[in-house]
Structure 1
Amino acid sequence: MPSYVIVGASRGIGHEYLRVLSADQSNTVVGTVRNIADAEERAKTEGWKNVYLVPGDLTDYKSMYAAADEVSKITDGKVDYLVINGAFISKQSADMAPTAFIGKEEFLKADAATSFETNFLGPVFAINAFLPLVKNGSVKKIIVVSSGMADTELVRSAGIAEALTYSASKSAVNILVAKYSVELKKFGITIIALSPGLVDTSEGKKPTPEEMVKYQLIANQLKSYAPNFTGPISTEQSVKAQLSVIGNLTIEQSGDMISHLGNKQWL
């Protein structure tokens, strides 16, 4: 009976991981969430029988170690698949290119600090906390959700100067994964950075006219990189594609960054 831990499972991609994995009753699925009451209320409507929720804040290393202790009780001290999904995407700086921070240096410092605390330090905290359980698992796979926005070729070919702090923090994730792969290979652990694609996480909420304009601009911008790109995929499409990639991973790929398509094509 395989065990999965999804760190950052409150909503969006993380919540969809719980939903998709719960369909197989042989899976033991655990999601860490910051607001346990809200998450449990939402879980009730899903009717899950094999999903467990534990409190856990990715930015708080003590919280991650406490979550690992709780998970150990549920999974008998082992974890087969550890998926670290939680991330911070700054809405305030998403449209800002590097020179847009001229005169806004204090904002840049704060925005970068939050981005790196969640997107870089958070995975370090989570991996270190759950590592003893992964070592005891049969599968020994760690997945850190990254982003194609951290790929320099995509940035250049599609002309994306914006989202500086988010992209930089995800680039840091990629080198983090490479470093872990070197250290953990002797334990038979496979770790990769996995881009989920461009995903619609609005959960059915109708975008505002301003958001629609922004989406169209993004689509036009990405046409040069991916001519067949038609728009964001659903959380279900993304998660099912990611799980297919994860299932086929070999230890020879450890340390790599790949997409939900299993290659270096991010869209």
Structure 2
Amino acid sequence: MASYVIAGASRGLGYQYLQTLNSNPSNTVIGLARNPSAVQSQLAADGIPNVHVLAGDLTSPASLSAAAAEVSKLTNSKVDYLIVNGAYVSDKTSGLTPTGFVGNEELLKADFETSINTNVVGVIYTINAFLGLVKASAIKKVVVISTGMTEPDLIKEAEVAASVTYSASKAATNVVVYKYAVELKSEGVIVLALSPGLVRTGLSEEMYEYLAEVFRKYEPGFKGAISTKESVEAQLKVIGAVTIEQSGEFLSHLGTKRWL
């Protein structure tokens, strides 16, 4: 029996993790969300039983510590897999290039602050809150969901100048993952940054088609966006196979350093 904690489980990939992991009845699956009752209602509507949903906000260390205390009661004081999925990306700034912030300096500052607080500081809060439980496991795996938008080769080859604050904050998160990996290697804790690929999580079909065309400059054979189910199933294969020698790395859902 394996125990999983999914931070940021209210929708998209996080919610899909709850669905996919619940298919194995021997798993103990716990999701963290700002509004757990809404997630629990959705799980009930979708006929997904035996998933625990607790209050947990990436930007609130107190809520994460409280969630960890509750998780300990459910998992015999250990967590095999901690998956940090929650992230912030702004619709207002995602299409802006660096020079697009000329005259929008306050927006730039505010968006960077929110991005860093959630995507970087929130990741540290979450890992620190659950690290004691992870260390008590025999598996000891921490996975932070990142993005291929941090990849220099993709940015250069696909000529992606937009999504400045999201990409930069996630790149900082990848560095944080390396820092944890170095610190915790002697204790056998594996820490991984993992890109899910281009996943259908609510954009318009026209936008997915546009992004696919852009990304084919980087990967000519790219077939387009995948479903959350496809992404999570692929991610779980990577998570299951990753070793302590790979701790700290940034891998794709393909298990490689190529994002698509």
TM-score for the superposition, normalised by structure 1: 0.95
2:77 is the alignment partner of 1:77: yes
Q: Is the 8 A contact 1:27 1:50 kept in 2?
A: no
| Cα displacement string for residues 15-50 of structure 1 (whole angstroms, at most 9, x for unaligned residues) | 000000000001000000111121111111233333
Q: Is the 8 A contact 2:43 2:49 kept in 1?
A: no
Instruction: Give 1:220 deviation, angstroms.
Output: 1.9
Partner of 1:154: 154
Instruction: Give 1:215 deviation, angstroms.
Output: 3.1
Residue segments in structure 1 that go unaligned for 5+ positions in a row: none
| Cα displacement string for residues 230-256 of structure 1 (whole angstroms, at most 9, x for unaligned residues) | 221000000000000001010000000
Distance 2:23 2:217 in 1: 38
Look up the SS of the partner of 1:134 in the other structure: helix
Instruction: Give 1:213 deviation, angstroms.
Output: 4.0
Partner of 2:34: 34
Instruction: Give 1:183 deviation, angstroms.
Output: 0.5
Partner of 1:126: 126
Q: Is the 8 A contact 1:5 1:81 kept in 2?
A: yes
TM-score for the superposition, normalised by structure 2: 0.97
In structure 1, what residue type is equivalent to 2:6?
I
Look up the SS of the partner of 1:4 in the other structure: strand
2:209 is the alignment partner of 1:231: no
Distance 1:19 1:232 in 2: 20
Look up the SS of the partner of 1:52 in the other structure: strand
Partner of 1:251: 244
Look up the SS of the partner of 2:172 in the other structure: helix
The total of aligned residue pairs comes to 260
In structure 1, what residue type is equivalent to 2:231?
S
In structure 1, what residue type is equivalent to 2:190?
T
Partner of 1:16: 16
Q: Is the 8 A contact 2:252 2:259 kept in 1?
A: yes
72-81 vs 39-48, which deviates more?
39-48
Distance 2:210 2:24 in 1: 39
Look up the SS of the partner of 1:265 in the other structure: coil
Pairwise CA RMSD of aligned residues? 1.1
